Amino acid sequence: MDRRRSQSCSHSDTKSHEHTDESCKVISKLLLPEDLMIYIFTLVPLNCLIDSARYVCKPWADTIGSSHFVEACGRRRRSKISLYVENGTTRSNSYMLEFKDDVNGQFERTDFGTPQEMGHLISTCDGIFLLWNERHGSREIVVVNPLLKCWLRISRFPDYPFRESLEYIVASCQCNITRVPRTAKFKLFLMDSVKFSGAFWFVFYVLRIGIDNSWEEIARKESPRPSWNIFWQQLYSGGNDIYWITKSEVIVMDVDKEVILQEYPLPHLPNYSDLKYLLMGNRISCIASKDLSSTTYQIYILDFDSGKWSLYHEMGPFDYVAACGLELDIIDVVFRFWINDQIIFRVSLGPVHNNSDIFKNKKYMHFGYNVKTRQLTKIEGIAEGNFEVWLHTNSLVSLPRTPT
């Protein structure tokens, strides 16, 4: 009885395999020219391409996985502005919000699979995540395409050639992922601050993904004495320049040539100003609280030609009751991104109790402010809680795999 069943199953599997082969042959005969196929596939939702279309036949899979299609798909979809919403407590239940109405800040939600626990998200670029993990006294970063579920672990950090004379390392480690427009290749840039021989230095490194996957020092610049309460920022929006915001200046670096292009002073503002730097298109903006109450904010724009900052816009005081219907106990405000005319920002809600679960119990609320209409809108697609947002665009760019 078992042998008959086995023979029947074997016969059925063989016929199924033959049917699949015949279907593939028929589809192959009906294939369109590659450029036309690429154009059609760019019109198909990415989840259909990943879950269905690439399994139809080998020619379709080859086309969807080709570099020509990846670039064509990237060009077509790059205009779609989305927010990746991450659950900061569980690292699960993530999703994307795509802008549908720039004026009223309305979004369309798409559920999105989260990669396995590999660390904290610190940067995104053209569909690729950069995750930071610090455990057991070691530091590592992981590069992930969450759509394709492929990843690359980079566990080794740069070795300092002057380690024997090193007094200590300032644990800043500002790291970002970029993509060179000319070659479409991804690179990691890292800036660390160290002290040796009685002086402080900014040390810059690059790692070229898929080429050598090792860190190389590319620049070193003497820096002022760092302060432990200062947070250096790095800004990158997909172009050819990456901006490092230090305690005293803006350092502009070319991601293709890997050299420092220019340095600009920071705006001279009152000491009580809580400064936040955002990219507004290809310009750098500085958002500063106007007074100690942090209810009104001024936006300054850097002119690259003159190196001077000028007042661009004043916003606030914000009417949170009109925006969300609630009186909010706000601890602080963090401006995250500038998308078209919308500034996305996060408010931390109080009270916060001083206990071991302080980070897990964080509660945020996200808003959008339109600099043209001066309208403040609560982003309804993001629940109140420990959620963080990032700019993200789905991508079919693959990465080499490494063992777990």
What are the phi and psi torsion angles at 76 (to 5°)? -75, -40
Task: Say if residues 203 and 196 touch (Cβ distance below 8 Å).
Answer: no
pLDDT in tens, 344-396: 999 998 865 555 454 556 789 999 999 999 999 999 888 888 888 888 887 78
What are the phi and psi torsion angles at 262 (to 5°)? -160, 160
pLDDT in tens, 158-188: 765 544 444 444 444 588 999 998 888 899 9
Report CA Rg, the chain: 25
The CA distance from 338 to 313, in Å, is 13
Tokens standing for 85? 């919403």
Q: What is the largest CA-CA distance in the chain?
A: 88
pLDDT in tens, 67-94: 677 777 766 655 566 888 887 776 666 7
- The pLDDT assigned to 262 comes to 95
The CA distance from 317 to 321, in Å, is 12
- The pLDDT assigned to 8 comes to 37
Instruction: Read off the DSSP letter of residue 184.
Output: -
pLDDT at 197 over 80: no
User: How deeply is 30 buried, as exposed, middle or buried, from its count of CB atoms within 10 A (0-12, 13-18, 19+)?
Assistant: exposed
Grade residue 279 by pLDDT with cuts at 50, 70 and 90.
very high
- Among 323, 230, 324, 321, smallest CA distance to 277 is for 230
- Dihedral angle of Cα 385, 79, 299, 309, to the nearest 10 degrees: 140
The CA distance from 31 to 251, in Å, is 51
- Among 238, 236, 239, smallest CA distance to 250 is for 236
Tokens standing for 289? 């609280």
9 half-sphere exposure, CB direction, 13 A CA radius = 6
